[in-house]
Amino acid sequence: MNLSDSSLALKRISASPEPVAPGIRQNPEIAKLVDISRCIGCKACEIACKEWNELKVEPTHNFGSFQSHVDLSPDTWLLMRFNEVEIGGDVKWLIKKDACHHCEEPGCLFACPAPGAIVQYENGIVDFNQENCIGCQYCVAGCPFDIPRFNAETRKVYKCNMCIDRVEAGLEPACVKTCPTNAISYGTKDDMVLLAEDKLEVLNNRGFQNAALYNPEGVGGTHMMYVVPYGDQLEEYDLPESPVAERGAISALGAIKTIGAFLFGAGILATALHYLAVGPDTPDENSHGEG
Amino acid sequence: MARNELQRHSYAHRVVHWTVGLSFLLLLLTGLAFSYPSLFWMTTILGGGAAARVIHPVAGIVFSVGLALMFFMWVREMFLGQLDWKWLGAIKAYASHDRAAVPPVGKYNAGQKLFFWVESILGAVLLLTGLPLWFPADFGGDFLVLMRLLHYLSTLGAGLFLIVHVYLSTVAYPGTLRAMLYGRVTAGWAKLHHPLWYKEKTEH
């Protein structure tokens, strides 16, 4: 299947009074599947991400970990987190590919008040349009995975866009392309879920009874999924147990705002009706002879 | 000052009032744009969405400082007394311009006093809920939605009272606006709206 068919059809637009008009064509959803058990920690994906997206190099320093950077930044959209955990007397690296999960229910998009600053394509990619971003950072708080990063100089927020420009051209994202152990797979979401099932079976046979697919339901599933060998230790991977997009709360806020708009209009209408009923109360300047 | 005019608001009071008034207008323009996508176009007149996002919290600080000054400049005259409760009992007669049935009031009537307290309290809530919204990256999603809700409800409350305030001080009661513009009112205006204050100012 040509995965580029779907790339630029929009599914959701932030803060938009008009909903997106549905198209006719059925567009497949795409996804990345990160198999942590195959990751050797080489960080080639980090470099590929920086190179393809032309992100600034940031000096790193030794802070007692194999990890390259301490945290994500406006110029670092992908960070392999080297979580050191003791399991069965051995020290294990529970590596997490920290980057946008491209949620089906994107908390960032629901929180965004700037029309068109965040869009979700039909293929599942969630993308930030910096030219529409107002720099309010509500998306930063709205993201259940703590991914978007604010640049105080440009006053815009940045994150992984799953190499939308490559995907659009039918290519896989840069991190997928470069991974030397095929730890990152890319294809339709359905195919990736099936692939994950195969991988889980292999892991189970190898003795990882708790191996699991991380595709959390609270955000409607994600378009970057993980196969985690120690599925019972999500917290140690730095993966939230049950992330939730604040969609219900934001919709409730929207409903209250609609009521508020009616009340405000009713207030203005009431003063107009009052004026028509009793008119102005004009002082009489002459009745007491001072005029 | 003309012979039949009375001084009502000092220069300082007028400056503080309009600082609060104009900064609130700026806050309303930008805040409504952030609250209603269909009103986002209003940011265009202020230089776009990004500029509006910079302006809003700064205007909020000006508003808060102005409101704090306003509070301390006016608070002594704003405590409700027995007369005020009687006035509130006659609010229907007041609204229908039936002056004979309304107890005479001093410099401020109970409606104005309540407006003062409501706006002071809601102003404080707006400041407290606005600060986390200024730096949202440091807070969690649900907390921020709660702050957005409280910020919105306070604006709605303040806005509803403001409609009445603007209506009464302009078209409903001619001669009122000049009190806040030039500081002076006519004797006739004072006798009609604040008879006890008129008596107090002229009894010498």
Q: Rounded mean pLDDT of A235-254?
A: 91
**pLDDT on residue B119:** 96
CB burial of A261-271 (b: ≥16 within 10 Å; e: otherwise) equals beebeebeeeb
List the domains of chain B with CATH numbers: 5-202 (1.20.950.20)
**pLDDT on residue A48:** 98
Is pLDDT above 90 for A97? yes
CB contact under 8 A, A141 and B175: no
**pLDDT on residue A290:** 42
Q: With an 8 Å Cβ cutoff, is B192 touching chain A?
A: yes
Is pLDDT above 50 for A291? no
Determine the distance in angstroms separating the CA of A223 from the nearest CA of chain B, rounded to an integer: 21
Residue corresponding to tokens 């708790």: A210
**pLDDT on residue B64:** 98
Is pLDDT above 70 for A3? no
Residue B194 banded pLDDT, cuts 50, 70, 90: very high
Q: Rounded mean pLDDT of B177-187?
A: 96
Task: Kindly list the residues from chain B whose CB atom is less than 8 angstroms away from the CB atom of residue A288.
Answer: 187-188, 191
3-state DSSP of A246-263: CHHHHHHHHHHHHHHHHH
Tell me the pLDDT tens digit for each residue of B59-95. Answer: 999 999 999 999 999 999 999 999 999 999 999 999 9
Tell me the pLDDT tens digit for each residue of A31-61. Answer: 999 999 999 999 999 999 999 999 999 999 9
Task: Return the sign of the alpha-carbon dihedral for residues A128, A129, A135, A136.
Answer: negative
**pLDDT on residue B185:** 96
Task: Kindly list the residues from chain A whose CB atom is less than 8 angstroms away from the CB atom of residue B193.
Answer: 283
Is pLDDT above 60 for A208? yes
Q: Is B165 a catalytic residue?
A: yes
**pLDDT on residue A7:** 55
Q: Rounded mean pLDDT of A144-160?
A: 97
Q: Rounded mean pLDDT of B117-125?
A: 97
Is pLDDT above 90 for A24? no
Residue A284 banded pLDDT, cuts 50, 70, 90: confident
CB contact under 8 A, B152 and A142: no
Q: Rounded mean pLDDT of A141-148?
A: 95
> Which value, in Å, is the radius of gyration of the alpha carbons in chain A?
26
Q: Rounded mean pLDDT of B133-154?
A: 93
Q: Which residues contact A244 (CB under 8 A, 6 or more apart)?
A: A107, A144, A218, A219
Q: Do the Cβ atoms of A116 and A129 come closer than 8 Å? A: yes
Q: Is the ipTM of this complex over 0.95?
A: no
Q: With an 8 Å Cβ cutoff, is A150 touching chain B?
A: yes
Residue A289 banded pLDDT, cuts 50, 70, 90: very low
Tell me the pLDDT tens digit for each residue of A59-83. Answer: 999 999 999 999 999 999 999 999 9
Q: Rounded mean pLDDT of A223-234?
A: 95
**pLDDT on residue A11:** 87
Return residues 97-116 of A near B (CB < 8 Å). Answer: 107, 111, 113-115
What single-letter DSSP state applies at residue A277?
Answer: H
CB contact under 8 A, B97 and A281: yes
Of the listed B9, B13, B97, B165, which one is catalytic? B165
**pLDDT on residue A248:** 86
pLDDT top residue among A17 and A57: A57
Q: Which residue of B has its CA nearest to A154?
A: B50
Task: Write down the mean pLDDT value for chain B.
Answer: 95
